[in-house]
Amino acid sequence: MFLEVLGITVLWIFLLGYVIVASIDFGAGFFNAYSLVTNKNHILSGIIKRYLSPVWEITNVFFVFFFVGIVGFFPQTAYYYGTVLLVPASIALILLTLRGSYYAFESYSGVTGHKGYALMYGLAGLFIPASLSVVLTISEGGFVQLTEVGPQLDYNALFTSPLTWAIVVLSITAVLYISAVFLTWYAHYAGDNKAGMLMRKYALVTSLPLIVSAIGIIVEMRRTGNWHYANMVDLSWLFIVSGILFLATTALLWLKDKYGFAVLLMILQFATAFFAYGISHYPYLLYPYLTVHDSFTTTSMAIAIVIAFIAGLCLLIPSMYLVLKLFIFNKSYASGDEETHV
């Protein structure tokens, strides 16, 4: 019991980490493309590039970590989700592959790319969260049938469900909002006020559809009398806390004050909502077939993974600190005064 909850909590934290860092990455690609269209590229591209270059690979590892971890702790997820997600996850993988390699091709080769590629890159970044977020709809139940050959995904039901589209819209707006808030701070931190003000505008613009789609999901779940909804009501105070944090973040942006604090509040806002969502989903991984308990791996393997995990963190936390200190929280790097690329 304790190990299952520990396992899913650890994975959920890593998924949150991926959602935040990947959103910054995906959103940055989109804003870069958008600024190309609106001829504001000269303002944004430098700051985006300086943030992304040293960390894009690390972002990718968060994702790998999550899907390896979930198969490790909950091997049955491989059977259910592996089978039903073949197509959506493959689409996401293809986009991730093209996006990741294109980024490296452009940023390391020193060749400035083609406008068309940059647009493709920006759009691909929005399709990835959209294609991955269908997992959230599927996990609510009702979209997977167990047949004689194995579990099968009912695409028709999935694509005609309003919940699917509400989650897709939420994932895209969340990506843009998280990225805009972060880059607003990062640009100001680097002393680039022009880029900072532009990103602040984008952050404020995207905050509205974000909150509308979040409320839309709750309304939709209530309408269908979803099992999950009742659990969410019990945890409504956490969602309210998240909403307050959201209002505080936008207020700081509006007042052009304390951008670093705004980023912190934004992360807390998503963390609260993310955990409230996760806790209310407990104990189901895939309703009604898969719970955290019956899909859990053997105790000896769980203990081994937890030990490996702790040992790994002892290596990773100091190294991550080093990265932050050298690049993200380093004024002369962020402002581009120093050019020390290989």
Partner 1 sequence: MDQSAVFWSRALTELTLSFHILFATLGVGVPLMILIAQYVGYKKNDAHYTLMARRWARGFTITVAVGVVTGTVIGLQLSLLWPQFMELAGQIIALPLFMETFAFFFEAIFLGIYLYTWDRFQNPKHHMLLLIPVAIGASMSAVFITIVNAFMNAPRGFDLVGGELINIQPILAMFTPAMPTKIGHVLTSSYMTVAFILAAIAAYRLLRGEDHVYHKKALSLMMKLGIIFSLATALVGDFSAKYLAEYQPEKLAAAEWHFETEAGADLIFFGVLDGEEVKYEIRIPKVLSFLASNDFNAEVTGLNEFSEDEQPPLITHYFFDVMVSIGVLMIFVSFAFVFGKWRNWQWIHSRPFRWFIVLSGPLSLVAIEAGWWLAELGRQPWILYGIMRTADGATTATGVEWLFIAFAIVYFILAIGSIVVLRRMFKHNPVEKELAMREGGGV
Minimum Å distance from CB 316 to partner 1? 6
Q: Which residues contact 186 (CB under 8 A, 6 or more apart)?
A: 47, 51, 328, 334
| Lookup result for tokens 């990947």 | 22
Q: Is the peptide bond before 283 cis (omega within 30 degrees of 0)?
A: yes
Distance CA 13, CA 80 (A): 22
**58 touches partner 1 (CB under 8 A):** yes
Q: Which of 328, 38, 25, 45 is nearest to 185 (CA)?
A: 328
- Sorted by sequence, the CB contacts under 8 Å of residue 294 that are 6+ apart come out as 76
Would you count residue 229 as binding partner 1 (CB under 8 A)?
no
CB-based burial, 319-333: b 16+ in 10 Å, e otherwise: eeeeeeeeeeeeeeb
Encoded one letter per residue, x for contact with partner 1 by CB under 8 A and - for no contact, window 282-301 reads ---------------xx-xx
Q: Where are the beta strands (DSSP E) in 190-261?
A: none
Binding partner 1 by CB under 8 A: which of 3, 6, 78, 268? Answer: 78
Choice from 69, 129, 196, 216 touching partner 1 (CB under 8 A): 69
Nearer to partner 1, 72 or 122 (CB): 72
Measured CA angle at 224 (ends 218, 229), to 5 deg: 45
CB 268 within 8 A of CB 178: no
Question: Could you identify the residue written with the tokens 């030990």?
Answer: 307
Q: Site map for partner 1, 252-271, x if CB under 8 A?
A: --------------------
65 touches partner 1 by CB under 8 A: yes
Q: Which of 76, 131, 173, 207 binds partner 1 (CB under 8 A)?
A: 76
Polymer length in residues for the chain: 342
If one asks whether residue 18 binds partner 1 (CB under 8 A), the answer comes out as no
Q: Based on the shown chain and the rule CB under 8 A, indicate whether residue 60 belongs to the binding site for partner 1.
A: yes
- The residue within the footprint of partner 1, chosen from 46, 82, 141, 209 (CB under 8 A), is 82
Q: Looking at residues 176 to 215 of the shown chain, list those that interact with partner 1 (rule: CB under 8 A).
A: none
- Of 86-125, which residues contact partner 1 (CB under 8 A)? 86-87, 89-90, 93-94, 96-98, 100-105, 108-111
User: Which 301-320 positions form the footprint of partner 1 (CB under 8 A)?
Assistant: 301, 304-305, 308-309, 312, 315-316, 319-320
Using the minimum distance from each CB to partner 1, give the nearer residue, 146 or 233.
Answer: 146
Decide if residue 163 touches partner 1 (CB under 8 A).
Answer: no
